[in-house]
Amino acid sequence: MKKQLENKKIMCRLCKGAHFTSKCPYRDTLGALGMDGADAPLDDGTATPKNEPATPAPAAVGGKYVPPSMRAGGAGRGAGESMGRPANRDDMPTLRVTNVSMETEENDLRDLFSRFGRVHRVYIGRDRDTGIGKGYAFVSFENKADAEKAIQKTNGMGYDNLILSVSWSQPREQR
């Protein structure tokens, strides 16, 4: 083993001395600072200088996680915004449907309203404990003209032995 290591250069990862890292006299002080092989680059004179950026990225400075909304280039995006969806649910033309049967499922309302246009989202208000419908629902369309047509056709319509009341939903008040 010694013959194999004779022509090899031994270098400490902490202080770059000519000894093993486990035998380093500065192990307690440099090891506590978090210095290891990943943080301290080896400099044997063969490395070429790299073009370093003038200001490092925020993650490189502190080594902490940076959320996408705070990253460089992400300033135009809002928090939690995704590419395929609109910026806010309140921007969608949404209808409030009341007097809905307790047994009505989301697919039932989607089938009923999809004949007027493309339905983006259907929400049925349910009791948290029992899961039974509370008698109201919200249907969001992608197009306002389709939503207006749905109001005209379904308001006062009989559905599941009940008469539906369909109107524009009012936006939530700022909390």
**What 3-state class would DSSP assign to 139?**
strand
Higher pLDDT, 163 or 45: 163
CATH 3.30.70.330 residue window(s) in the chain: 89-168
pLDDT confidence tier of residue 173, bands split at 50, 70 and 90: confident
How much is the average pLDDT of 98-112?
Answer: 94
* Strand stretches in the chain, DSSP E: 94-98, 119-126, 133-141, 158-159, 162-163, 165-168
Residue range 16-26: average pLDDT? Answer: 86
pTM over 0.95: no
Number of other CB atoms surrounding residue 150 within 10 Å:
23
Question: Above pLDDT 90, what percent of the chain?
Answer: 43
Return the pLDDT at 121.
Answer: 94
pLDDT for the residue numbered 59: 46
What's the CATH fold of domain 89-168?
Answer: Alpha-Beta Plaits (3.30.70)
pLDDT digits (tens, 9 = 90+) for 128-167: 999 999 999 999 999 999 999 999 999 999 999 999 999 9
